[in-house]
Amino acid sequence: MEIILRNVSKYFPSNGVQALSGAHFELRPGEIHALLGENGAGKSTLMHILAGHLEMTTGELLVDGIPRTFTSPGSALQTGIGMVRQHPVLVPGFSLWEDALLGLPGPPLAPLNARLGRRCFQDLSDRWGFDLDASTKTEHLTISQRQKASVLTLLLHQVQCIILDEPTAVLTPIETERLFTLLRKLRSDGLSIVLISHKLEETLSVADRLTILRQGKSVATRLTNETNTEELTQLMFGDAIGQSNASMSFLHIVPAVQEEPILMVDHLSVAQKELAHLRDLSFSVHKGEVYGIAGVRDSGLETLELTITGFVKPLAGRILLNGRAVEHQGPLAFRRAGAAYVSADRLGRAIALKLPIIDSLIVHAHRRFVKNRFLWPRFLDLKAIRSWARNIFGLSNIQGSLDSPAEAFSGGQLQRLILAREFAEAAPLFVLAEPGWGLDAAGKVLLQERLDVYLKNGGTVLLFSTDVDELLQFSSHIMVIRDGRNVLELDVPEDEHLRPMLKSQISAAMVGTGVPQETIREVQV
């Protein structure tokens, strides 16, 4: 199938982000076409539009010459276009074959023979060399198996174009190679494949053509055998090699003071269902550092974040903050020991959406504004609280009423407020997950400024991120976590030009090179 996306623009009013402005993309039948670009370039957005998850603000879509608009993923699927997400969502509790057959057009009351269904799935799976068992329940699959099951589902629904959204970020090299073999087989069967990625080397090994997006525009399209990594890097990043974002400057870094660490994690192990495990992890954060922890989505990064901040109890090991052991004591104890925390899942966990915004702002501060400490009920000094909250508004450059519900504010505004709230705690340790997420341009500038001030005043920052560029930008010291272990630690040089060279070393450590260890344990999405 031939697909043409022309002059596509996408504007998100909720946070004022112009994700795409005039992007072009052409797909020919029987090719593997990679969509390249760094984070935020618009690759995912463009493909989500093609797959029917989003609607374009302006632009054209032609499928086999016929103009189309997809209002839902279902309509894209009916036209033969399907998407495999990095973390595919399958129906929990179903067997693989049930999930795959779900939604196939046909009479609703026709008998669904389990044996037939299984065989149908199994035959297809064997034919493509998937190594999947039709009867497995969806909860018991690894990520790479889920991706394959997604592909199989799409094949059963007879798609002719498969879009894969950064599949290899969560795969081991062996799994990646298997995936690529599969893609080549699919291509020889006449399917068109779009591979979204920001990993140059491996993409070059499998793609026929490449289109590069930068800042929401299509920059170029090349045939793989007519280009090389240098040219592609230059196209992806612009004029200066290694400059990820022209508007951002590197953070001024204060050299770490060598004394007793402010945070010490000692032989930490976590083995809880539905979370990536941590295996005997140890590291220390010293005062004045910006300590960045890098990892892919299921490396244990999130688990580590949750365990350190007190939401998850470890099986073994200790966490000492300012000398106090906090590993079994919950989020409040962690905060009281001297920390502020901005979680990755900000709108879900760090804000009360339906209540007036002031209620979300005073969640920590309210304890300080109590009029009568020793008598229940403890009354709040509302006047002082309101003026304190108004101050937070000012720090975030936001106008509005303190009593408006939180959901009346835009996503970008809420992020700024959350950051301002946490900075206002002036805690010795500031834990920040996925720093750049959800921040609009104004928010990113604000974050930079606040971090600068905070560090100058003697603060320490702990960052968690899946984005290496971001970490290189902010951190003075980086640790890579993979499979729940600490696999790499390095200092980040002050010289801005030296930093991007570390990127490949860090990325390699995140995904893993060489011999596969034990099988990846299952992870609930």
Partner 1 sequence: MIYTLLTASVPLILAGLGAMISDFSGYLAVFLEGAMMLGAFFVWVFSIWSGSIFVGFIITLLITGLMGWLLSRFIRWTGANPFVAALALNIAALGITETISVLLYNTKGVLRSPGFPAINGIWFVVLAVALVFLAYWVIYHTPLGLRLRASGRSPEVLLQRGIDPVRYRDGAWAVAAMLAALAGGVLTVKIGAYAPGGTNGQGWIALVMVYLGFRNVGGVALAAVVFTLIERVGIEAQAVLAIPSTLLLGLPSLLALLLYILSQLLRKE
Partner 2 sequence: MRTAGRARFAPLWGAVFSLGSGILLICLLILFTSADSLATLKVFFLGPWSSPWFIGNTLDMVALLMVSALGVAVAFRGGTFNLGGEGQIYLGGLGATVVLLSFPTLSGTLSLLLAALVSLVIGALMGGLSGVLKRYARADELITSFLFSAALTPVADYLIAGPLRDKSGSLLASPRFAPERTLTHLLPPSSLSTSFLWAIGLVFLVYILMNRTESGYRFRVAGTSPEFARYGGFPAPAYWVYAMAGSGALHGLAGFFAVAGTYGLCHQGFSGGLGWSGIAVALIGRNKPLALFPAALMFAWLKAGSDGALLASGLQFETSAFVQAIILLLVTVRRKP
- Taking CB under 8 A as the rule, does residue 514 contact partner 1? no
Q: Among partner 2, partner 1, none, what does residue 12 contact (CB within 5–8 Å per kind)?
A: none
Stretch of 107-115, 191-199, 405-413, 444-452 contacting partner 1, by CB under 8 A:
107-115
Least distance from partner 2 to the Cβ atom of residue 366, Å: 6
Least distance from partner 1 to the Cβ atom of residue 93, Å: 6
Q: Which is nearer to partner 2, 105 or 377 (CB)?
A: 377
Judged on CB neighbours under 10 Å (0-12, 13-18, 19+), 243 is: middle
Which helix H or strand E contains 325, and what residues bound it? strand 324-325
Q: Which is nearer to partner 1, 157 or 318 (CB)?
A: 157
Stretch of 35-43, 113-121, 184-192, 328-336 contacting partner 2, by CB under 8 A:
328-336
CA distance 206 to 202: 7
Q: How many residues does the chain have?
A: 525
Q: Which is nearer to partner 2, 351 or 480 (CB)?
A: 351
Cis-peptide, bond into residue 377, ω within 30° of zero = yes
Least distance from partner 2 to the Cβ atom of residue 379, Å: 5
Q: Give the DSSP letter string of 478-505.
A: EEEEETTEEEEEEEPPS-GGGHHHHHHH
Q: How many other β-carbons are positioned within 10 Å of the β-carbon of residue 407?
A: 15
Alpha-carbon dihedral of residues 184, 188, 189, 195, nearest 10 degrees? 40
> Quick one: which of 364, 386, 485, 503 contacts partner 2 (CB under 8 A)?
364
Q: Which residue type does 474 have?
A: F
> Quick one: which of 67, 92, 190, 493 contacts partner 1 (CB under 8 A)?
92
Q: Give one word for 80, left, alpha or beta, with left for phi > 0 and alpha for psi -120 to 50.
A: left
Strand pairing of 192-197 and 209-214? unpaired
- Applying CB under 8 A, the site for partner 1 has a residue count of 28
- Taking CB under 8 A as the rule, does residue 272 contact partner 1? no
Q: Among partner 2, partner 1, none, what does residue 351 contact (CB within 5–8 Å per kind)?
A: partner 2
> Quick one: which of 378, 390, 456, 497 contacts partner 2 (CB under 8 A)?
378
- Taking CB under 8 A as the rule, does residue 102 contact partner 1? yes
> Quick one: which of 102, 246, 257, 382 contacts partner 2 (CB under 8 A)?
382
> Quick one: which of 17, 54, 90, 270 contacts partner 1 (CB under 8 A)?
90
- Taking CB under 8 A as the rule, does residue 18 contact partner 2? no
Least distance from partner 1 to the Cβ atom of residue 52, Å: 9
Which helix H or strand E contains 17, and what residues bound it? strand 17-27
Q: What is the DSSP letter of 356?
A: B
Q: Which is nearer to partner 1, 65 or 111 (CB)?
A: 111
- Taking CB under 8 A as the rule, does residue 384 contact partner 2? no
The residue written with tokens 């099986």 in the block is 315
Strand partners, 341: 431
Q: What is the DSSP letter of 316?
A: E
> Quick one: which of 92, 255, 394, 400 contacts partner 2 (CB under 8 A)?
400
Q: Check if the beta carbon of residue 284 is closer than 8 Å to that of residue 291.
A: no
- Taking CB under 8 A as the rule, does residue 438 contact partner 2? no
Q: Check if the beta carbon of residue 197 is closer than 8 Å to that of residue 166.
A: yes
Q: Among partner 2, partner 1, none, what does residue 108 contact (CB within 5–8 Å per kind)?
A: partner 1
Q: Check if the beta carbon of residue 236 is closer than 8 Å to that of residue 210.
A: no
SS (H, E, C) 180-221: HHHHHHHHHCCCEEEEEECCHHHHHHHCCEEEEEECCEEEEE
Closest CA to 422 of 397, 451, 445: 451
Binding flags for partner 1, 366-405, as an x/- string (CB under 8 A): ----------------------------------------
Q: Which is nearer to partner 1, 12 or 94 (CB)?
A: 94
> Quick one: which of 109, 111, 376, 514 contacts partner 2 (CB under 8 A)?
376
The residue written with tokens 């799935």 in the block is 121
- Taking CB under 8 A as the rule, does residue 366 contact partner 2? yes
- Applying CB under 8 A, the site for partner 2 has a residue count of 38
What burial letters (b/e) apply to 125-161, b meaning 16+ CB within 10 Å?
beebebebbbeeebeebbbbbbbbbbbbbbbbbebbb
Q: Which is nearer to partner 1, 138 or 466 (CB)?
A: 138
Interface of this chain with partner 1, residues 135 to 194, rule: CB under 8 A: 157
> Quick one: which of 91, 174, 315, 363 contacts partner 2 (CB under 8 A)?
363
Closest CA to 202 of 164, 153, 239: 164
Closest CA to 13 of 413, 425, 517: 413
Q: Which is nearer to partner 2, 325 or 352 (CB)?
A: 352
CA distance 314 to 322: 19
Least distance from partner 1 to the Cβ atom of residue 103, Å: 3
Interface of this chain with partner 1, residues 108 to 137, rule: CB under 8 A: 108-114
> Quick one: which of 99, 165, 202, 422 contacts partner 1 (CB under 8 A)?
99
In the complex, the residues that contact partner 1 under the rule CB under 8 A are: 72-75, 77-78, 89-94, 98-99, 101-104, 106-114, 157
Residues near partner 2 (CB under 8 A) are 13-14, 311, 330-332, 335, 341, 343, 348-355, 359-360, 362-364, 366-367, 370, 376-380, 382, 400-401, 404-405, 407-408, 410
